[in-house]
Amino acid sequence: MPQTYTNDHSPSVLQTYTWRDANNSAAYLLSYLQPHMSILDVGCGPGSITIDLARKVPQGHVVGVEYVSDPLDGARSLASSEGVTNVSFEVGDIHNLPFPENTFDVVHAHQVLQHIEDPVQAFKEMRRVVKEGGIVAVQETSTSTLYPESEGIAAWSDLQDQMRQAKGNFMKAGTQLHVWAKGAGFPLEKIKKSTGSWCFSSPTEREYWGGAMEGRIRSSGLAATAVREGLASEKELQHMAAAWRAWVENEDGWLGFLNGQILCWK
């Protein structure tokens, strides 16, 4: 499958992902987990959610897969440093997962389908490798809102949207998860739809998110591609980065995300 992921796995990008854990990014799934379960975490990135899921199934095992190997050594090191041993990581494509049918009790994907070529095929593959009676759990961004509004931040958002659309990414993927799941063969009565949210407003939270966005603009594959393809100049990128820094330092700064989430039973 063609590579449609707009971001890379540079430190400024991974900084955003390592904040995520099972509690803040997969809470809708946790009440269904049992200590003995086997879990596949698709699009695991730096492994912070994967490792936390492994803690939730101490007698089970969790496998994290990513389409490239770039972040996986870091994920393995993180698991080792935190003493989590019931987890492993390998390369795998969500469109063609390298596992037999009926392998896992749970298949989980977080903020992955918006970046891929064929979400219906991804759901088909996740359905194939989950056991009968097992769960496929997916969360994707639906929309976001920010205060105070900023010309520079709006320009960064527009630039990301432009680049994602050029890659064929699915904007607001969280709004149509149930449609993709139905297309993959899940009956509507076996699909549970819900929403979750994130809010970044404290100084630490603003630094985490806004600082990460500033870092992406100053040093990431996305920013380099934007300049190379003539979508933004270095001067324009620096203006966007400065806008995020101003938001971080504004005590009234507030950012909220609404995520669509879905549980599908096979």
3-class DSSP state of 42: strand
**Arithmetic mean of pLDDT, 68-97:** 96
pLDDT score of 169 more than 90:
no
Residue 2 banded pLDDT, cuts 50, 70, 90:
very low
User: Strands 130-147 and 61-66: what pairing?
Assistant: unpaired
Check: CB of residue 29 under 8 Å from CB of residue 136: no
**Arithmetic mean of pLDDT, 141-156:** 95
pLDDT score of 12 more than 70:
no
The matching CATH number, chosen from 3.90.1150.10, 3.40.50.150, 3.40.50.970, 3.20.20.150, for 11-265 is: 3.40.50.150
Integer angstrom CA distances of residue 125 from 79, 111, 131, 220, 261 = 26, 17, 12, 31, 18
pLDDT score of 219 more than 90:
no
Is the pTM above the cut of 0.85? yes
Give the ranges where 61-150 is alpha helix by DSSP (H).
72-81, 119-129
Spans of all domains in the chain:
11-265
